[in-house]
Structure 1
Amino acid sequence: MKKLILTAMAVATFGFMSAQEEGIRFGAKAGLNIASITGDDTDDLDSRTSLHIGAVAEIPISEKFAFQPELLYSAQGAKQDIGGDDLVLALDYLNLPLMAKYYVAEGFSLQAGPQVGFLLSSKVKLDGDSVDAEGVNDIDFGLNFGLGYQLDMGLFFDGRYNLGLSNINDEGDSDNQNGVIQFSVGYKF
Protein backbone atom coordinates (compact mmCIF):
# COMPACT_ATOMS: atom_id res chain seq x y z
CA MET A 1 0.00 0.00 0.00
CA LYS A 2 2.80 2.40 0.93
CA LYS A 3 4.57 1.75 -2.39
CA LEU A 4 1.35 2.28 -4.35
CA ILE A 5 0.66 5.64 -2.66
CA LEU A 6 4.27 6.76 -3.11
CA THR A 7 4.27 5.79 -6.78
CA ALA A 8 0.96 7.57 -7.40
CA MET A 9 2.16 10.75 -5.70
CA ALA A 10 5.45 10.77 -7.62
CA VAL A 11 3.73 10.20 -10.96
CA ALA A 12 1.12 12.89 -10.26
CA THR A 13 3.73 15.42 -9.16
CA PHE A 14 6.54 14.84 -11.62
CA GLY A 15 4.67 13.28 -14.56
CA PHE A 16 3.50 16.55 -16.08
CA MET A 17 7.08 17.83 -16.19
CA SER A 18 7.81 15.78 -19.30
CA ALA A 19 6.27 18.56 -21.37
CA GLN A 20 9.74 20.18 -21.26
CA GLU A 21 8.35 23.64 -20.58
CA GLU A 22 10.95 26.38 -20.76
CA GLY A 23 11.95 27.65 -17.35
CA ILE A 24 11.51 24.45 -15.35
CA ARG A 25 14.63 23.93 -13.24
CA PHE A 26 15.62 20.72 -11.49
CA GLY A 27 18.04 20.50 -8.62
CA ALA A 28 19.17 18.95 -5.39
CA LYS A 29 19.23 20.17 -1.80
CA ALA A 30 20.51 19.05 1.58
CA GLY A 31 20.67 20.47 5.04
CA LEU A 32 20.11 20.44 8.76
CA ASN A 33 16.97 19.24 10.57
CA ILE A 34 16.12 20.29 14.10
CA ALA A 35 13.28 17.85 14.74
CA SER A 36 10.95 17.59 17.69
CA ILE A 37 7.77 15.83 18.75
CA THR A 38 4.94 17.86 20.24
CA GLY A 39 1.69 16.95 21.94
CA ASP A 40 0.88 14.66 24.85
CA ASP A 41 3.63 13.85 27.39
CA THR A 42 6.48 15.52 25.50
CA ASP A 43 7.78 17.88 28.21
CA ASP A 44 10.94 15.77 28.75
CA LEU A 45 11.77 15.47 25.05
CA ASP A 46 14.56 17.42 23.38
CA SER A 47 15.04 18.08 19.68
CA ARG A 48 16.97 15.66 17.48
CA THR A 49 19.55 17.22 15.18
CA SER A 50 19.79 15.35 11.90
CA LEU A 51 19.69 15.92 8.13
CA HIS A 52 17.59 15.94 4.99
CA ILE A 53 18.59 15.43 1.35
CA GLY A 54 16.70 15.19 -1.91
CA ALA A 55 15.55 16.51 -5.26
CA VAL A 56 13.57 19.62 -6.22
CA ALA A 57 11.90 21.02 -9.32
CA GLU A 58 10.81 24.62 -9.74
CA ILE A 59 8.00 25.27 -12.20
CA PRO A 60 7.37 28.96 -12.95
CA ILE A 61 3.71 29.97 -13.07
CA SER A 62 4.23 33.70 -13.54
CA GLU A 63 6.96 36.25 -12.91
CA LYS A 64 6.21 36.24 -9.16
CA PHE A 65 4.80 32.73 -8.54
CA ALA A 66 6.29 29.23 -8.84
CA PHE A 67 5.39 25.69 -7.82
CA GLN A 68 8.17 23.60 -6.26
CA PRO A 69 7.58 19.87 -5.64
CA GLU A 70 10.33 18.12 -3.71
CA LEU A 71 11.23 14.55 -2.77
CA LEU A 72 13.29 14.43 0.43
CA TYR A 73 14.77 11.87 2.78
CA SER A 74 14.29 13.44 6.22
CA ALA A 75 15.64 12.14 9.54
CA GLN A 76 13.23 13.27 12.27
CA GLY A 77 12.18 12.31 15.81
CA ALA A 78 13.30 13.42 19.26
CA LYS A 79 15.62 12.48 22.09
CA GLN A 80 15.47 12.29 25.88
CA ASP A 81 18.21 12.37 28.51
CA ILE A 82 18.12 9.12 30.53
CA GLY A 83 20.76 9.20 33.26
CA GLY A 84 23.31 11.02 31.11
CA ASP A 85 22.65 8.92 27.98
CA ASP A 86 20.48 10.01 25.05
CA LEU A 87 17.45 7.85 24.26
CA VAL A 88 16.73 8.68 20.62
CA LEU A 89 13.50 8.08 18.74
CA ALA A 90 14.71 8.06 15.12
CA LEU A 91 11.90 8.47 12.60
CA ASP A 92 13.10 8.47 8.99
CA TYR A 93 10.68 9.66 6.30
CA LEU A 94 10.46 10.07 2.55
CA ASN A 95 8.70 13.45 2.39
CA LEU A 96 6.91 15.01 -0.54
CA PRO A 97 6.51 18.78 0.04
CA LEU A 98 4.42 20.65 -2.55
CA MET A 99 5.52 24.26 -2.13
CA ALA A 100 3.97 27.42 -3.54
CA LYS A 101 6.57 30.18 -3.88
CA TYR A 102 5.97 33.91 -4.10
CA TYR A 103 8.96 36.06 -5.09
CA VAL A 104 8.72 39.30 -3.09
CA ALA A 105 12.01 40.66 -4.46
CA GLU A 106 14.74 39.51 -6.84
CA GLY A 107 15.73 36.02 -5.65
CA PHE A 108 13.86 36.27 -2.31
CA SER A 109 10.75 34.07 -1.86
CA LEU A 110 8.06 33.26 0.68
CA GLN A 111 7.05 29.60 0.61
CA ALA A 112 4.13 27.54 1.91
CA GLY A 113 2.54 24.22 1.12
CA PRO A 114 1.36 20.81 2.28
CA GLN A 115 3.57 17.78 2.79
CA VAL A 116 2.98 14.06 2.98
CA GLY A 117 5.61 11.82 4.57
CA PHE A 118 6.06 8.08 4.22
CA LEU A 119 7.75 6.37 7.18
CA LEU A 120 10.87 4.49 6.08
CA SER A 121 12.03 3.34 9.52
CA SER A 122 11.34 3.92 13.20
CA LYS A 123 14.02 3.02 15.75
CA VAL A 124 14.68 3.59 19.42
CA LYS A 125 18.41 3.99 20.08
CA LEU A 126 20.24 3.96 23.42
CA ASP A 127 23.97 3.61 24.08
CA GLY A 128 24.75 2.17 20.64
CA ASP A 129 21.86 -0.33 20.68
CA SER A 130 18.86 -0.02 18.38
CA VAL A 131 15.43 -1.67 18.30
CA ASP A 132 12.41 -1.12 16.06
CA ALA A 133 9.89 1.36 17.48
CA GLU A 134 6.34 0.04 17.52
CA GLY A 135 3.09 1.92 16.99
CA VAL A 136 4.23 4.67 14.57
CA ASN A 137 1.90 5.65 11.71
CA ASP A 138 3.19 4.90 8.22
CA ILE A 139 1.97 8.23 6.80
CA ASP A 140 2.48 11.74 8.20
CA PHE A 141 0.84 14.95 7.00
CA GLY A 142 2.20 18.44 7.58
CA LEU A 143 2.18 22.04 6.47
CA ASN A 144 5.38 23.90 5.55
CA PHE A 145 6.17 27.62 5.89
CA GLY A 146 9.48 29.12 4.85
CA LEU A 147 11.75 31.67 3.23
CA GLY A 148 14.24 31.25 0.44
CA TYR A 149 16.92 33.10 -1.45
CA GLN A 150 18.19 32.03 -4.87
CA LEU A 151 21.22 33.38 -6.72
CA ASP A 152 21.13 33.75 -10.52
CA MET A 153 23.73 30.99 -10.88
CA GLY A 154 21.31 28.44 -9.31
CA LEU A 155 22.64 28.25 -5.76
CA PHE A 156 19.82 28.64 -3.21
CA PHE A 157 19.24 28.77 0.55
CA ASP A 158 16.00 27.89 2.38
CA GLY A 159 14.73 28.08 5.94
CA ARG A 160 11.51 26.23 6.67
CA TYR A 161 9.26 24.97 9.46
CA ASN A 162 7.20 21.81 9.03
CA LEU A 163 4.14 21.82 11.28
CA GLY A 164 2.91 18.25 11.76
CA LEU A 165 -0.85 17.90 11.38
CA SER A 166 -1.41 14.18 11.90
CA ASN A 167 -0.92 11.96 14.93
CA ILE A 168 2.29 9.96 14.53
CA ASN A 169 1.02 7.31 16.98
CA ASP A 170 -0.70 4.29 15.51
CA GLU A 171 -1.57 2.84 18.93
CA GLY A 172 -2.75 4.18 22.28
CA ASP A 173 -4.45 7.42 23.25
CA SER A 174 -1.48 9.81 22.92
CA ASP A 175 -1.71 12.52 20.30
CA ASN A 176 1.75 13.57 19.04
CA GLN A 177 2.96 15.44 15.96
CA ASN A 178 6.26 15.99 14.22
CA GLY A 179 7.74 19.48 14.14
CA VAL A 180 10.86 20.17 12.06
CA ILE A 181 12.96 23.28 11.45
CA GLN A 182 15.01 22.88 8.27
CA PHE A 183 17.94 24.86 6.90
CA SER A 184 18.89 23.89 3.35
CA VAL A 185 21.39 24.70 0.67
CA GLY A 186 20.94 23.50 -2.87
CA TYR A 187 21.57 24.01 -6.54
CA LYS A 188 19.15 24.21 -9.49
CA PHE A 189 20.44 23.39 -12.97
Structure 2
Amino acid sequence: MYRGVYIKKVKQKKQVTMRRIFLTAISLVIGVVATMAQPKAGTFSIIPRLGVAIAKVTGDKVYTSLASAYGDATHSNYKPGLMAGVDFEYQFSDMLAASIGAYYSRQGERFDDVKEAHDMSTKQWNEVRDWKQHHDYVNVPLIASAYVADNLALKVGVQVGFNVDGKMEYTEASFVRDQAGVGSTESVKKIKGDVKLKKVDFAIPVGISYEYMNVILDARYNIGLTKVYDNIDGKNSVFTFSAGYRFSL
Protein backbone atom coordinates (compact mmCIF):
# COMPACT_ATOMS: atom_id res chain seq x y z
CA MET A 1 0.00 0.00 0.00
CA TYR A 2 2.78 2.39 0.92
CA ARG A 3 4.71 1.51 -2.21
CA GLY A 4 1.69 2.06 -4.46
CA VAL A 5 1.02 5.51 -2.98
CA TYR A 6 4.67 6.41 -3.51
CA ILE A 7 4.57 5.39 -7.17
CA LYS A 8 1.38 7.37 -7.71
CA LYS A 9 2.96 10.49 -6.24
CA VAL A 10 6.04 10.08 -8.46
CA LYS A 11 3.81 9.81 -11.54
CA GLN A 12 1.93 12.96 -10.53
CA LYS A 13 5.19 14.86 -10.07
CA LYS A 14 6.38 13.72 -13.51
CA GLN A 15 3.12 14.85 -15.08
CA VAL A 16 3.42 18.28 -13.41
CA THR A 17 7.04 18.58 -14.55
CA MET A 18 6.17 17.61 -18.14
CA ARG A 19 3.28 20.09 -18.14
CA ARG A 20 5.61 22.86 -16.98
CA ILE A 21 8.19 21.98 -19.64
CA PHE A 22 5.48 21.95 -22.31
CA LEU A 23 4.08 25.34 -21.22
CA THR A 24 7.59 26.81 -21.06
CA ALA A 25 8.33 25.56 -24.60
CA ILE A 26 5.07 27.05 -25.88
CA SER A 27 5.95 30.38 -24.26
CA LEU A 28 9.40 30.35 -25.86
CA VAL A 29 7.92 29.58 -29.29
CA ILE A 30 5.41 32.41 -28.92
CA GLY A 31 8.21 34.74 -27.84
CA VAL A 32 10.38 33.81 -30.82
CA VAL A 33 7.49 34.20 -33.26
CA ALA A 34 6.67 37.59 -31.78
CA THR A 35 10.32 38.59 -32.14
CA MET A 36 10.41 37.36 -35.73
CA ALA A 37 7.24 39.16 -36.76
CA GLN A 38 7.53 42.23 -38.95
CA PRO A 39 6.69 45.59 -37.30
CA LYS A 40 3.08 46.45 -36.60
CA ALA A 41 1.33 49.36 -38.31
CA GLY A 42 2.35 52.68 -36.83
CA THR A 43 5.84 51.48 -35.82
CA PHE A 44 8.86 53.70 -36.43
CA SER A 45 12.27 52.00 -36.72
CA ILE A 46 15.94 52.90 -37.04
CA ILE A 47 17.98 50.36 -39.04
CA PRO A 48 21.80 50.68 -39.18
CA ARG A 49 23.30 48.76 -42.12
CA LEU A 50 26.71 47.50 -43.19
CA GLY A 51 27.56 45.77 -46.44
CA VAL A 52 29.27 45.82 -49.81
CA ALA A 53 28.62 47.75 -53.03
CA ILE A 54 29.65 46.03 -56.27
CA ALA A 55 29.79 48.74 -58.93
CA LYS A 56 30.89 49.73 -62.39
CA VAL A 57 30.17 52.52 -64.90
CA THR A 58 28.24 51.06 -67.83
CA GLY A 59 29.48 52.09 -71.26
CA ASP A 60 32.86 53.32 -70.01
CA LYS A 61 35.83 52.16 -72.11
CA VAL A 62 39.56 52.65 -72.38
CA TYR A 63 41.01 53.00 -75.88
CA THR A 64 44.71 52.76 -76.70
CA SER A 65 46.32 54.13 -79.86
CA LEU A 66 46.75 50.57 -81.14
CA ALA A 67 43.27 49.38 -80.11
CA SER A 68 41.49 52.42 -81.52
CA ALA A 69 42.96 51.70 -84.96
CA TYR A 70 41.03 48.44 -84.92
CA GLY A 71 37.97 49.80 -83.11
CA ASP A 72 38.79 47.74 -80.01
CA ALA A 73 38.61 48.84 -76.37
CA THR A 74 38.85 47.64 -72.79
CA HIS A 75 35.47 47.79 -71.05
CA SER A 76 34.86 48.57 -67.39
CA ASN A 77 34.34 45.75 -64.88
CA TYR A 78 32.65 45.53 -61.48
CA LYS A 79 34.66 46.26 -58.34
CA PRO A 80 33.64 45.82 -54.68
CA GLY A 81 33.60 48.57 -52.08
CA LEU A 82 32.30 49.30 -48.59
CA MET A 83 28.82 50.66 -47.97
CA ALA A 84 27.43 51.67 -44.58
CA GLY A 85 24.58 53.80 -43.33
CA VAL A 86 21.17 53.91 -41.69
CA ASP A 87 17.49 53.70 -42.68
CA PHE A 88 14.58 55.43 -40.95
CA GLU A 89 11.45 53.37 -41.60
CA TYR A 90 7.75 53.81 -40.87
CA GLN A 91 5.29 50.90 -41.09
CA PHE A 92 2.04 52.20 -42.60
CA SER A 93 0.24 48.84 -42.56
CA ASP A 94 0.95 45.11 -42.36
CA MET A 95 1.82 45.15 -46.06
CA LEU A 96 3.41 48.56 -46.67
CA ALA A 97 6.36 50.48 -45.22
CA ALA A 98 8.40 53.45 -46.38
CA SER A 99 11.93 54.48 -45.48
CA ILE A 100 14.51 57.15 -46.13
CA GLY A 101 18.18 56.40 -45.68
CA ALA A 102 21.67 57.84 -45.83
CA TYR A 103 24.63 55.70 -46.93
CA TYR A 104 28.32 56.10 -47.59
CA SER A 105 29.06 54.00 -50.68
CA ARG A 106 32.43 53.40 -52.33
CA GLN A 107 31.63 52.69 -55.97
CA GLY A 108 33.71 53.09 -59.14
CA GLU A 109 35.06 50.63 -61.67
CA ARG A 110 38.14 48.68 -62.74
CA PHE A 111 39.73 47.77 -66.07
CA ASP A 112 41.72 44.81 -67.30
CA ASP A 113 45.39 45.38 -68.15
CA VAL A 114 45.85 47.70 -71.14
CA LYS A 115 48.79 47.54 -73.56
CA GLU A 116 49.68 50.38 -75.89
CA ALA A 117 52.31 50.51 -78.67
CA HIS A 118 54.20 53.79 -78.93
CA ASP A 119 56.88 53.06 -81.51
CA MET A 120 56.42 50.04 -83.73
CA SER A 121 59.94 50.31 -85.18
CA THR A 122 61.65 49.98 -81.79
CA LYS A 123 58.90 47.85 -80.25
CA GLN A 124 58.50 50.37 -77.43
CA TRP A 125 55.42 49.50 -75.34
CA ASN A 126 53.55 50.76 -72.33
CA GLU A 127 51.40 48.52 -70.17
CA VAL A 128 48.81 49.75 -67.69
CA ARG A 129 47.96 47.29 -64.90
CA ASP A 130 45.47 47.17 -62.02
CA TRP A 131 43.54 50.23 -63.16
CA LYS A 132 40.96 51.07 -60.48
CA GLN A 133 38.74 54.08 -59.86
CA HIS A 134 37.15 54.83 -56.50
CA HIS A 135 34.02 56.97 -56.57
CA ASP A 136 32.76 57.91 -53.12
CA TYR A 137 29.09 58.84 -52.74
CA VAL A 138 26.64 59.71 -50.02
CA ASN A 139 23.42 58.12 -51.27
CA VAL A 140 19.95 59.06 -50.01
CA PRO A 141 17.33 56.44 -51.03
CA LEU A 142 13.58 56.83 -50.57
CA ILE A 143 12.15 53.29 -50.58
CA ALA A 144 8.68 51.73 -50.54
CA SER A 145 8.57 48.18 -49.15
CA ALA A 146 5.70 45.79 -49.94
CA TYR A 147 5.49 42.66 -47.75
CA VAL A 148 4.55 39.73 -49.99
CA ALA A 149 5.00 37.16 -47.20
CA ASP A 150 5.89 37.13 -43.51
CA ASN A 151 9.11 39.13 -43.09
CA LEU A 152 9.76 39.09 -46.87
CA ALA A 153 9.55 42.44 -48.66
CA LEU A 154 10.02 43.68 -52.20
CA LYS A 155 11.49 47.17 -52.55
CA VAL A 156 11.47 49.98 -55.11
CA GLY A 157 12.20 53.67 -54.88
CA VAL A 158 14.28 56.63 -56.00
CA GLN A 159 17.77 57.63 -54.93
CA VAL A 160 19.89 60.73 -55.15
CA GLY A 161 23.65 60.42 -54.69
CA PHE A 162 26.15 63.16 -53.87
CA ASN A 163 29.71 62.59 -55.03
CA VAL A 164 32.26 63.49 -52.36
CA ASP A 165 35.47 62.17 -53.92
CA GLY A 166 36.92 60.49 -57.00
CA LYS A 167 40.33 58.81 -57.26
CA MET A 168 42.15 56.67 -59.79
CA GLU A 169 45.23 54.46 -59.45
CA TYR A 170 47.13 52.13 -61.73
CA THR A 171 50.60 50.73 -62.39
CA GLU A 172 52.42 51.83 -65.55
CA ALA A 173 55.23 49.73 -67.00
CA SER A 174 57.23 50.56 -70.14
CA PHE A 175 59.39 47.99 -71.90
CA VAL A 176 60.94 47.08 -75.26
CA ARG A 177 60.40 43.85 -77.19
CA ASP A 178 63.26 42.50 -79.27
CA GLN A 179 62.90 40.61 -82.55
CA ALA A 180 62.31 37.37 -80.65
CA GLY A 181 59.42 38.98 -78.78
CA VAL A 182 61.23 39.02 -75.45
CA GLY A 183 60.40 42.05 -73.30
CA SER A 184 62.84 43.80 -70.98
CA THR A 185 61.17 46.10 -68.45
CA GLU A 186 62.58 49.63 -68.36
CA SER A 187 60.47 51.22 -65.64
CA VAL A 188 57.50 50.51 -63.40
CA LYS A 189 55.70 53.24 -61.48
CA LYS A 190 52.50 53.76 -59.54
CA ILE A 191 50.18 56.46 -60.80
CA LYS A 192 47.51 58.11 -58.67
CA GLY A 193 45.25 61.03 -59.39
CA ASP A 194 41.85 62.64 -59.07
CA VAL A 195 38.80 61.81 -61.18
CA LYS A 196 36.32 64.54 -62.09
CA LEU A 197 32.76 63.30 -61.64
CA LYS A 198 29.35 64.91 -61.79
CA LYS A 199 28.34 66.03 -58.31
CA VAL A 200 24.81 64.56 -58.32
CA ASP A 201 23.69 61.10 -59.41
CA PHE A 202 20.14 59.75 -59.71
CA ALA A 203 19.15 56.08 -59.61
CA ILE A 204 16.20 53.72 -59.19
CA PRO A 205 16.84 51.08 -56.49
CA VAL A 206 14.96 47.77 -56.69
CA GLY A 207 15.48 44.90 -54.30
CA ILE A 208 14.36 42.35 -51.75
CA SER A 209 14.82 41.91 -48.00
CA TYR A 210 14.18 39.26 -45.37
CA GLU A 211 13.97 39.81 -41.61
CA TYR A 212 14.69 37.31 -38.85
CA MET A 213 14.76 38.28 -35.16
CA ASN A 214 15.28 41.97 -36.07
CA VAL A 215 18.21 41.15 -38.39
CA ILE A 216 17.47 42.30 -41.95
CA LEU A 217 19.28 40.91 -44.99
CA ASP A 218 18.90 43.26 -47.94
CA ALA A 219 19.88 42.98 -51.64
CA ARG A 220 19.37 45.80 -54.14
CA TYR A 221 20.27 46.82 -57.65
CA ASN A 222 20.62 50.57 -58.26
CA ILE A 223 19.81 51.44 -61.87
CA GLY A 224 21.74 54.59 -62.82
CA LEU A 225 19.76 57.30 -64.60
CA THR A 226 22.33 60.07 -65.09
CA LYS A 227 25.84 60.30 -66.53
CA VAL A 228 28.75 59.81 -64.14
CA TYR A 229 31.14 61.97 -66.21
CA ASP A 230 30.51 65.13 -68.19
CA ASN A 231 32.03 63.83 -71.43
CA ILE A 232 31.09 60.11 -71.26
CA ASP A 233 27.65 58.53 -71.42
CA GLY A 234 28.41 55.90 -68.77
CA LYS A 235 26.00 55.46 -65.85
CA ASN A 236 26.40 53.82 -62.46
CA SER A 237 25.41 50.16 -62.18
CA VAL A 238 25.53 49.10 -58.52
CA PHE A 239 24.58 45.95 -56.61
CA THR A 240 24.43 46.28 -52.81
CA PHE A 241 24.27 43.51 -50.22
CA SER A 242 23.87 44.49 -46.59
CA ALA A 243 22.87 43.31 -43.13
CA GLY A 244 21.01 45.57 -40.73
CA TYR A 245 19.40 45.48 -37.31
CA ARG A 246 16.00 46.95 -36.52
CA PHE A 247 15.55 49.15 -33.45
CA SER A 248 11.83 49.78 -33.05
CA LEU A 249 10.80 52.97 -31.27
Runs of 4+ in 1 over 6 A off after TM superposition: none
Corresponding residue for residue 237 of structure 2: 179
| Structure-1 separation of matches of 2:192 and 2:238 | 23
> 5+ residue gaps in structure 2?
1-40, 63-73, 114-126, 172-189
Q: What displacement does 1:129 show? A: 4.5
From 209, 220, 226, give the equivalent of 1:166: 226
Match of 1:72 in 2: 103
2:59 maps to what in 1?
Answer: 39
2:93 aligned with 1:62: yes
Equivalent residue number for residue 205 of structure 2: 144
How big is each residue's C-alpha offset from its partner over 1:154-183, in whole Å with a ceiling of 9 and x where there is no partner? 11001100000001112x2x2110000111
Could you say which structure has the larger radius of gyration? Answer: 2
User: Is the contact made by 2:84 and 2:105 (CA closer than 8 Å) also made in structure 1?
Assistant: yes
Which position in structure 2 is the counterpart of 1:92?
136
* CA root-mean-square deviation: 1.7
Give the Cα–Cα distance (whole angstroms) in 2 for the partners of residues 188 and 111 of structure 1.
Answer: 17
One of 188, 192, 211 as aligned partner of 1:130: 192
CA distance in 1, matches of 2:214, 2:244: 8
SS of alignment partner, residue 169 of structure 2: strand
Report deviation, 1:126. 1.8
Whether the aligned pair in 1 keeps the contact of 2:136 and 2:166 (CA below 8 Å) is: yes
For residues 42-78 of structure 1, give each alpha carbon's deviation from its aligned partner in whole angstroms, at most 9, with x where no partner exists. 7521111112000111111111000011100001010
Compute the TM-score of the two structures, normalised by the length of structure 2: 0.63
User: Which structure carries more helix by proportion?
Assistant: 2
Q: Deviations over 1:58-113 (max 9, x none)?
A: 11111100001110000101001234721111100000011100000110000000
Matched residue type, 1:126: Y
- Deviation string 1:19-39 (CA, Å, 9 cap, x unpaired) is xx9510102001111101112
